[in-house]
Amino acid sequence: MKAQLEIIKRWLTPSGPKSARSLFKSAGLPFPTIPEPLAAKLEHRDKWLFSTRKIEVPPYFLQQYAEEFESGQVTDYVILSHDGHGINSYAIQYYLVQQGLGLFLHLKWGGIYTNNEKAVADISAAFDVADRIVAWIESMRDDLKHPVQIVASDFYGCYWMIGGEKQDEWDAWENTPLKALNAILESLQSKK
């Protein structure tokens, strides 16, 4: 009986990508461009949590996901969630790991003291630049010899690495993920 109820629940619940888009739209949030092969596998795992992989560590713990990517022991996946703690430490997490790219965005939204209107504009701009980075990486895939990792967080700071070597780093208090993402894109494009 329990298995039958689960099947019915899945049948009545919109699919992962559709459910995620609907949730983000209803909250007034932009939606990132998720590469099609991963978007097709996106599952609604929990409230505000969508993923193509099993989740053992909450996405809020950004550094664990970044370290996992650095280890090289991870397959392609996407995670899209909203998570946090306290009264103001809430963020949208968009983690994309695909063919040698680890993109980890941890963008503030939803805290009691957060200007959510400004945060939505910042998230939208960050997603736009992230899309351009992903497109650049895709266009250069045959020329890339080492994995590219990008971590951009309003709370933990930003950095990026190629082949495990740090290229640049920004303090969370002085810079925004958007500034860091723009600088990373500019640097990547100059390497052409």
pLDDT digits over 94-120, tens only? 999 998 999 999 999 998 899 999 999
**Sign, Cα dihedral of 26, 103, 76, 188:** positive
In this predicted structure, what is the pLDDT of residue 2? 52
Q: Which long-range contacts (CB under 8 A, 24 or more apart) does 165-173 make?
A: none
Please tell me what DSSP assigns to residue 14: P
Q: What token pair was written down for 178?
A: 């958007």
Question: Which has more pLDDT, 60 or 12?
Answer: 60
Angle at 95 between CA 124 and CA 153, to 5 degrees: 65
Provide the CB-side half-sphere exposure for 142 (13 A, CA): 1
In this predicted structure, what is the pLDDT of residue 175? 80
Pairing of strands 148-153, 101-108: parallel
Question: Which has more pLDDT, 183 or 16?
Answer: 183
Contact 107, 92 (CB under 8 A): yes
Measured distance CA(100)–CA(163) in Å, rounded: 9
Per mean pLDDT, which range of 14-18, 25-29, 40-44 is the poorest?
14-18
In this predicted structure, what is the pLDDT of residue 51? 97
The pLDDT of residue 36 is above 60: yes
What is the arithmetic mean of pLDDT over 48-61? 96
Q: Closest Cα to residue 103, out of 125, 121, 130?
A: 130
Helix, strand, coil fractions of the chain, as percent rounded to 5: 40, 25, 35
The pLDDT of residue 7 is above 80: no
Measured distance CA(180)–CA(71) in Å, rounded: 23
Residue 2: how many other CB atoms lie within 10 Å: 6
